[in-house]
């Protein structure tokens, strides 16, 4: 099966150990507070695989997984459980940007490294390793506006209201569209990152705002939105952002969609785990490496899918199940080169 460096699905296995010439063992707790999509399942699976791959470098990484639909307090309980178990590091896909500050401070006081991924957190006691969610949205919004020639009536279908990643994405596309005087943002709705709700939202939008030209929509909701566009016979006259799942990419090819998609790889948690292990081994971060609104972010590259790379993308998902998302993991060598001295 063909693979490209841009859409890497295998973990790097090269030896990166300038530190720790002897075997070491670490325990890392993984916390996922929402299980409403296969993307989250793939995220956990890729992180577990990344942990196992460290054995090739003489490092044993044991992972403990807590993955469930919980509110913020339930996810704080995840972190508290890990503190009580004495893990070496915690990697969390957080349900809030700010609510974890006190519990992360407790983890730091216990000598536990904490890293958030997929959504940034305000805590000075945590790092963030993941994509810039605002930049992710700005990339696809700019693509949409340019495909429309800088003019048109656009709607937005968003994820879970109040979720930190969703909020940053909203800020991103709003900022981009504000820079195009000819783009009119006529409606914004939430469909909770759910394909069926995305399809229903798009059906309602088409019935209410029939003369729209473009749709900015996130993740799996894009699959539902495009199904509604197909049902309405409007594939040829609506431009919309897309999805990174294998089943959607197949339909993209079959239906000839005018679409493009920023990639938020499920491998972000695996990338965060590789950063965590390097930190636990005592490797020092480069000066000036942090970015983000909270000054604690290590941003990963954001691939973009359009017709220019479509053949490579098709090859990368060939033979994968329909729910498989295009992914990329920053392996130990790459993480070291990007972030560490």
pLDDT tens-digit map of 131-145: 999 999 999 999 999
Which pLDDT score is estimated for 43? 98
State whether 97 and 138 are in the same domain.
no
CA dist 94 → 62, 207, 313 (Å): 21, 36, 29
State whether 141 and 256 are in the same domain.
yes
Which pLDDT score is estimated for 89? 98
Are the C-beta atoms of residues 171 and 97 closer than 8 Å to each other?
Answer: no
Which pLDDT score is estimated for 10? 38
Give the domain range for residue 237: 133-262
Residue 39 has pLDDT above 90, yes or no: yes
- Dihedrals phi, psi of 326, to nearest 5 degrees: -55, 130
Question: Mean pLDDT, to the nearest integer, of 252-270?
Answer: 95
Are the C-beta atoms of residues 46 and 267 closer than 8 Å to each other?
Answer: yes
CATH number of the CATH domain containing 216? 3.40.50.2300
Q: Which of these ranges, 5-9, 88-92, 248-252, has the smallest mean pLDDT?
A: 5-9
Are the C-beta atoms of residues 54 and 270 closer than 8 Å to each other?
Answer: no
H-only helix segments in the chain? 38-53, 72-85, 101-109, 133-147, 164-178, 195-208, 221-231, 246-255, 268-280, 310-317, 332-339
Q: Nearest-5° angle of CA 92, CA 96, CA 99?
A: 100
State whether 158 and 253 are in the same domain.
yes
Question: Mean pLDDT, to the nearest integer, of 226-247?
Answer: 95
Quote the mean pLDDT of the chain: 92
* Residue 30 β-bridge partners: 65, 91
Which pLDDT score is estimated for 240? 97
Residue 341 has pLDDT above 80, yes or no: yes
Domains of the chain: total? 2
State whether 127 and 166 are in the same domain.
no
Residue 20 has pLDDT above 80, yes or no: no
């Amino acid at each position: 099966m063909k693979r490209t460096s841009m859409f890497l699905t295998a973990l790097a296995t090269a030896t990166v150990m300038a530190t720790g010439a002897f075997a070491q063992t670490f325990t890392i707790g993984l916390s996922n507070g929402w299980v409403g999509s296969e993307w989250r399942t793939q995220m956990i699976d890729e992180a577990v695989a990344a942990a196992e791959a460290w054995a090739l470098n003489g490092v044993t990484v044991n992972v403990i997984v807590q993955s469930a639909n919980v509110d913020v307090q339930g996810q704080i309980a995840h972190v508290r459980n890990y503190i009580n178990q004495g893990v070496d590091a915690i990697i969390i896909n957080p349900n809030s940007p700010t609510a974890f500050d006190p519990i992360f401070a407790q983890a730091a006081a216990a000598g536990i490294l904490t890293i958030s991924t997929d959504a940034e957190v305000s805590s000075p006691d945590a790092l963030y390793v993941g994509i810039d969610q605002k930049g992710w949205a700005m990339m696809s919004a700019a693509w949409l506006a340019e495909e429309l020639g800088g003019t048109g009536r656009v709607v937005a279908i968003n994820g879970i209201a109040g979720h930190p990643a969703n909020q940053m994405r909203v800020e991103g596309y709003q900022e981009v569209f504000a820079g195009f005087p000819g783009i009119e943002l006529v409606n914004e709705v939430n469909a909770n990152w759910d394909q069926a709700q995305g399809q229903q939202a798009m059906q309602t939008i088409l019935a209410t705002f029939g003369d729209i030209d473009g749709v900015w929509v996130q993740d799996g909701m894009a699959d539902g939105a495009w199904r509604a566009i197909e049902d309405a016979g409007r594939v040829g006259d609506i431009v919309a952002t897309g999805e990174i799942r294998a089943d959607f990419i197949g339909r993209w090819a079959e239906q000839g969609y005018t679409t493009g998609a920023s990639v938020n790889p499920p491998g972000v948690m695996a990338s965060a785990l590789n950063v965590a292990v390097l930190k636990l081994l005592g490797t020092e971060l480069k000066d000036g490496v942090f970015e983000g609104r909270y000054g604690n972010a290590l941003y990963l590259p954001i691939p973009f899918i359009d017709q220019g790379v479509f053949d490579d993308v098709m090859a990368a998902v060939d033979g994968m199940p329909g729910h498989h998302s295009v992914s990329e993991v920053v392996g130990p060598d790459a993480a070291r080169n990007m972030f560490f001295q």
